[in-house]
């Protein structure tokens, strides 16, 4: 038994050793995210997207950097959605695999502790859907090697609150959020701030804990508060469950959410309960610009892409354009090249601000669920 264990470890070491060392005309790009744990759905989707796009670039002969053709190679590692593993993986990618840039992760809590390592190794990172402002800016200073292709929580919260107040005419709102989740707490905070600033009133502010599956106690309380709209800033599994339970309790109000909502599974699990709901999204699914990617992904992997795929797509786009602009395969030059770059992605125009490393002025899309379809309403920019 013991021998077996040691044999397994020995194999692991050998395999680990094999992955390093490559040819000079290959650009190695790291990816990290959750392939196991409760965020694995998104991680798998992102890595698949990056792999697919790299294969496509390579099939077309690679990319041109400083007059030389390079192939792209992705080295992807699982971090279980755990910040501690994100740190390990970043050290491994920068130290051992010598990647020139990293794509991911999808969670802010995992992206924030990477910064000092990236800075030391001079390797830039493009976060996909990490929406906490502190991923790129800490205490008023921009982190030199952290970038992202998505909008940030304060913006998303302002869009949701603005849309609820101005377009839906809601004057009272109830909040239900995941108290153990940074994304959910952030979005709730900025929704509350902006909704109250506009003159609206939060009549119920309820929370649950990550991993909970029953929300009826909180929903019963929300029902009694009788709000105009209920804001649910968390991920689709909990959204579907809580929406179903809300309808069971006879809650008829409009539900609203953020970019944790969109997924095929929301429709299949939420069914009628989420009909007529609105959420803030990074893109319009019916936009002609995204159709091509959607079909390519489905053809290759046999299933629909999640939201993360679109943003991973744009992260790859940003990376490739950045490499071309830099003209050399070097992390430091690449980070410089990202600043001020202007790329037309499928989720919108990505113009990286040198001050914040965020894509400035990226519009949010408001989506309504009609007959089990995600129907685009309007591009909405918060003031």
Partner 1 sequence: MSWTYIQGILMLAGINMIAVLGLSLLTGFTGLFSFGHAGFMAIGAYVGAWISASPASTPAGLGLPFILAIVGGGAAAGIVSYFIGRISLNLKGDYFCIATLGFGEAIRLIFNNVNRFGGARGWPGVPGRSTFLVILIADVIAILFLANLVKSRHGRNMIAVREEELAAQIAGINVFRYKMISLIISAVYAGVAGVFFAHYMTFIQPKMFSLTKSTELTIIVIFGGLGSISGSVLGALVLTALPELLRAFEIWRLVFYGAAVILIMVSRPKGLMGGMELTPSGIRKVLAERNALREAKTKLLADAQSGEED
Partner 2 sequence: MVQFLQQLINGLSIGSVYALMAVGYSLVYSIMNFSNFAHGGVIMLGAYFGFFSLTLLKLPFVVAFLLASVGTLAVAIIVERIAYKPLRERKAPFLYFIISAMGASILLENIVIATIGPTFRTYPEVFSKVPITLGPLAIGRLDLIIFAISAVCLTLLILFIEKTKIGKAIQAASYNVKACALMGVNTDRVILTVFGLGGFLAGVAGVFFGMKYTVYPQIGNITTKSFIAAVFGGLGSLPGAVLGSVILGTIETFVAGYLSSQFRDLIAFVILIAVLVLRPTGIMGKVTEDKA
Size of site (CB under 8 A) for partner 1: 53
Task: Identify whether the C-beta of residue 298 lies closer than 8 Å to the C-beta of residue 379.
Answer: no
Given partner 1, partner 2, none, residue 170, with its beta carbon under 5 to 8 Å by kind, binds none
- Per CB under 8 A, the list member of 17, 61, 95, 217 interacting with partner 2 is 217
Burial of residue 211 (CB within 10 Å: 0-12, 13-18, 19+) is: exposed
Q: How far apart are CA 267 and CA 285, in angstroms?
A: 14
Report 155-194 residues binding partner 1 (CB under 8 A). Answer: 178-182, 184-186
Given partner 2, partner 1, none, residue 284, with its beta carbon under 5 to 8 Å by kind, binds none
Q: How far apart are CA 125 and CA 131, in angstroms?
A: 14
Q: Residue 213, interface with partner 2 (CB under 8 A)?
A: yes
Q: How far apart are CA 160 and CA 164, in angstroms?
A: 6
Task: Identify whether the C-beta of residue 213 lies closer than 8 Å to the C-beta of residue 159.
Answer: no
Task: Identify whether the C-beta of residue 145 lies closer than 8 Å to the C-beta of residue 335.
Answer: yes
- Per CB under 8 A, the list member of 88, 172, 207, 353 interacting with partner 2 is 207
Q: Residue 237, interface with partner 2 (CB under 8 A)?
A: yes
Given partner 2, partner 1, none, residue 163, with its beta carbon under 5 to 8 Å by kind, binds none
Q: How far apart are CA 47 and CA 74, in angstroms?
A: 9
b or e along 161-198 (b: 16 or more beta carbons within 10 Å of the residue's beta carbon)?
Answer: bbbbbeeeebbbbbbbbbeebbbbbbbbbbbbebbeee
Region near partner 2 per CB under 8 A, out of 40-48, 252-260, 315-323, 331-339:
40-48
Q: How far apart are CA 153 and CA 182, in angstroms?
A: 10
Give the nearest distance from C-beta 212 to partner 2 in angstroms: 8
Of the candidates 245, 262, 257, 214, the residue with the CA atom closest to the CA atom of residue 41: 262
CB atoms within 10 A of CB 207: 17
> 64 or 264: whose CB is closer to partner 2?
264
Q: Residue 209, interface with partner 1 (CB under 8 A)?
A: yes
- Per CB under 8 A, the list member of 3, 60, 141, 209 interacting with partner 2 is 209
> 16 or 286: whose CB is closer to partner 1?
16
x/- contact string, 244-283, with partner 2 (CB under 8 A)? x---xxx--------------x--xx--------------
DSSP conformational letter for 352: B
Q: Residue 113, interface with partner 1 (CB under 8 A)?
A: yes
Given partner 2, partner 1, none, residue 184, with its beta carbon under 5 to 8 Å by kind, binds partner 1
Of the candidates 31, 116, 40, the residue with the CA atom closest to the CA atom of residue 81: 40
> 94 or 110: whose CB is closer to partner 2?
110
Write the CA distances from 202 to 147, 258, 303, integer angstroms: 34, 17, 39
Cβ contacts of residue 7 below 8 Å, gap of 6+? none
Q: Which residues bind partner 1 (CB under 8 A)?
A: 1-2, 4-5, 8-9, 11-13, 15-17, 19, 35-36, 40, 77-78, 80, 82-85, 87-88, 91-92, 94-96, 108-109, 112-113, 115-117, 120-121, 132, 134, 138-139, 178-182, 184-186, 209-210
Q: Which residues bind partner 2 (CB under 8 A)?
A: 36-38, 40-41, 44, 179, 206-209, 211, 213-214, 216-218, 220-221, 224, 237, 240-241, 244, 248-250, 265, 268-269
């Amino acid at each position: 038994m013991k021998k077996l264990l040691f044999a397994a470890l020995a194999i692991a070491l050998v395999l680990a050793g094999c992955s390093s060392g490559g040819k000079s005309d290959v650009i190695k790009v790291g990816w990290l995210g959750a392939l196991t744990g409760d965020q694995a759905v998104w991680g798998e989707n992102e890595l698949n997207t990056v792999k697919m796009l790299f294969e496509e670039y390579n099939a077309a002969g690679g990319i041109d950097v400083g007059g030389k053709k390079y192939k792209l190679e992705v080295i992807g590692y699982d971090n279980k959605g755990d910040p501690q593993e994100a740190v390990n993986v970043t050290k491994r990618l920068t130290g051992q695999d010598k990647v020139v840039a990293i794509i991911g992760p999808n969670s802010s809590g995992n992206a924030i502790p990477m910064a000092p390592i990236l800075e030391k190794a001079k390797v830039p990172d493009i976060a996909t859907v990490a929406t906490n402002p502190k991923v790129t800016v800490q205490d008023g200073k921009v982190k030199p090697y952290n970038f992202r292709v998505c909008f940030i929580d304060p913006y998303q919260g302002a869009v949701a609150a603005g849309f609820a107040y101005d377009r839906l005419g809601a004057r009272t709102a109830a909040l239900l959020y995941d108290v153990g989740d940074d994304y959910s707490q952030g979005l709730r905070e900025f929704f509350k701030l902006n909704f109250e600033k506009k003159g609206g009133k939060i009549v119920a502010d309820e929370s649950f804990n990550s991993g909970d599956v029953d929300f009826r106690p909180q929903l019963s309380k929300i029902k009694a508060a009788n709000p105009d709209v209920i804001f649910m800033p968390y991920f689709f599994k909990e959204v579907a469950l809580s929406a179903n339970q809300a309808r069971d309790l006879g809650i008829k109000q409009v539900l609203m959410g953020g970019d944790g909502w969109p997924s095929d599974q929301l429709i299949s699990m939420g069914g009628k309960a989420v009909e007529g709901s609105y959420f803030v999204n990074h893109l319009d699914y019916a936009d002609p610009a995204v159709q091509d990617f959607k079909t390519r992904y489905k053809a290759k992997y046999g299933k629909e892409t999640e939201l993360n795929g679109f943003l991973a797509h744009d992260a790859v786009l940003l990376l490739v354009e950045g490499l071309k602009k830099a003209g050399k395969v070097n992390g430091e030059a690449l980070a410089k090249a990202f600043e001020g770059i202007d790329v037309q992605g499928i989720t919108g125009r990505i113009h990286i601000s040198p001050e914040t490393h965020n894509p400035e002025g990226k519009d949010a899309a408001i989506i309504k669920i009609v007959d089990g379809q995600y129907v685009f309403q309007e591009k909405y920019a918060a003031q």
